[in-house]
Chains A and B, each alone.
Chain A
């Protein structure tokens, strides 16, 4: 007993000297908002679902892979440039940007800003409760109108119509939701309850989708 004390600083009598088993810091511990609701055992309820997902996915992929061959073109030839030379589909949106902006802006600045924006989303601790954009209708309408106008004007100056179009569409939806904010329960009413972050992300996805589709097919 005495030897043990020297070696570890603890006696083995847990009642006399309780050992710290776990340290829960108030500020860093996970908080689950709301009632957790009923719970199920991971084994088997979660694991069986994962197994089914795995099997379904693999079966579908095997079927597709049997009948849809991966493309293979001629041997790489630095002297023969295909027209158009295209990046993989997930970079085609960025490649489209090169039509409107210089390479530094389209290829470096915008992607960097997008990544930074994505990283800071949870730390940009404004409006965590997700208050609707039209919770302050008069004031926010003015801000929205000015922002949308400036953005569209900027895009028009650069003839960036493939960005202009989805931007205008999302802006139109936003303004429709303003008119429907106090109306009957409908799809626009649902939109009227969305926070600013929702609108920015939706705008980003709309633009990225449009650019990718245009880059893929035109």
Chain B
């Protein structure tokens, strides 16, 4: 079985079409493994080699990866949820009920989206604190730290704008409480609040604005910044490795 599979794969690799796509042989030498990374659009921002120490779980707890994985899960489940959602009051609430009683696996989809959202906020906070305690903000990583702080804010905004979308009591009052704070800003507070809500109260316009922010603007900003963030990790010389890591302890 295994040898049949192996020879089938070998056979496939010899095809013209396969070669036109991957332009390399099997990744069994360091040369082809390097090509596998920098010849691939989705991997080319990674270094070809990484320090063994920076791969240890203790070095990062993979918190950056975890945050990104959660973002991907949110992206996929979010798009699926968009098929069943109307950003209008009170239709949005009825869509929640439809997810619960009509749509196949609708509750599961919503559960997964909500769980990943809360976990992402948690993971991003933890990621930042961990990077701080590792000294990961120090030169040459200064700029990437700043990008990371902005990404934290974007994550919070993404979560917060998503909070309103179910249009239930929890959503409505959480957003009312939060946006009332903006009024406390001197001079421009009320104007900014009006801009954000499209009115003076949390109503149908606010729902639409939060929806557009949640599904278009903020994800775009997040994707862009995540790209810069990842790219800079490599350009700044990889993860911070502490001298203490030598003895295998943190």
Contact = CB atoms under 8 A, between A and B. Distances in A.
B200 to A, nearest CB: 12
A201 interface: yes
A187 interface: no
Nearest to A39: B49
B103 interface: no
A103 interface: yes
A161 to B, nearest CB: 22
Contact of A38 (B52, B129, B235): B52
Contact of A86 (B34, B132, B177, B243): B177
Contacts of A214: none
A159 interface: no
A44 B51 contact: no
Interface in A88-132: 88-91, 94-95, 102-104, 106-108, 115, 118-119, 121-123, 128, 130
Contact of B133 (A34, A75, A128, A198): A198
Contacts of A87: 174, 177-178
Contacts of A151: none
B237 A73 contact: no
B69 A64 contact: no
Contacts of B135: 130
Contact of A75 (B90, B138, B189, B241): B90
B114 A34 contact: no
B66 interface: yes
A139 interface: no
A36 interface: yes
Interface stretch (B7-15, B162-170, B212-220, B221-229): B162-170
A81 interface: yes
Interface string A61-87: 110111011111111111011100111
Interface in A13-47: 28-32, 34, 36-47
B30 A78 contact: no
A78 B199 CA distance: 14
Contact of A72 (B90, B146, B168, B184): B168
Secondary structure at the B interface, as helix, strand, loop or mixed, is helix
B196 interface: no
Given A49-B62, A62-B112, A122-B137, A32 B168 contact: no
A76 B89 contact: yes
B201 interface: yes
B209 interface: no
B100 interface: yes
Interface in B92-130: 93, 96-97, 100, 107-108, 110-112, 114-116, 118-119, 121, 125, 128-129
A108 B71 CA distance: 28
A75 B237 CA distance: 52
Nearest to B107: A69
B197 interface: no
Given A73-B170, A75-B93, A42 B137 contact: no
Interface core residue of A82, A94, A118, A128 (most chain B CB under 10 Å): A118
B205 to A, nearest CB: 14
Nearest to B184: A103
A57 B70 contact: yes
A156 interface: no
Contact of A31 (B66, B128, B182, B237): B237
B141 interface: yes
Contacts of B138: 122, 128
Interface of A: 28-32, 34, 36-47, 49-50, 53-54, 57-58, 61-62, 64-66, 68-78, 80-82, 85-91, 94-95, 102-104, 106-108, 115, 118-119, 121-123, 128, 130, 198, 201, 205
Interface of B: 27, 30, 33-34, 36-37, 43, 46-53, 55, 62, 65-66, 69-70, 73, 89-90, 93, 96-97, 100, 107-108, 110-112, 114-116, 118-119, 121, 125, 128-129, 132-133, 135, 137-142, 145-146, 149, 153, 156, 159-160, 163, 166-174, 176-178, 180-186, 189, 201-202, 235-238, 241, 243, 246
Given A29-B140, A54-B65, 13 more contacts: A30-B140, A30-B237, A32-B237, A40-B49, A44-B27, A64-B111, A64-B115, A102-B184, A104-B185, A119-B149, A122-B142, A201-B129, A201-B133
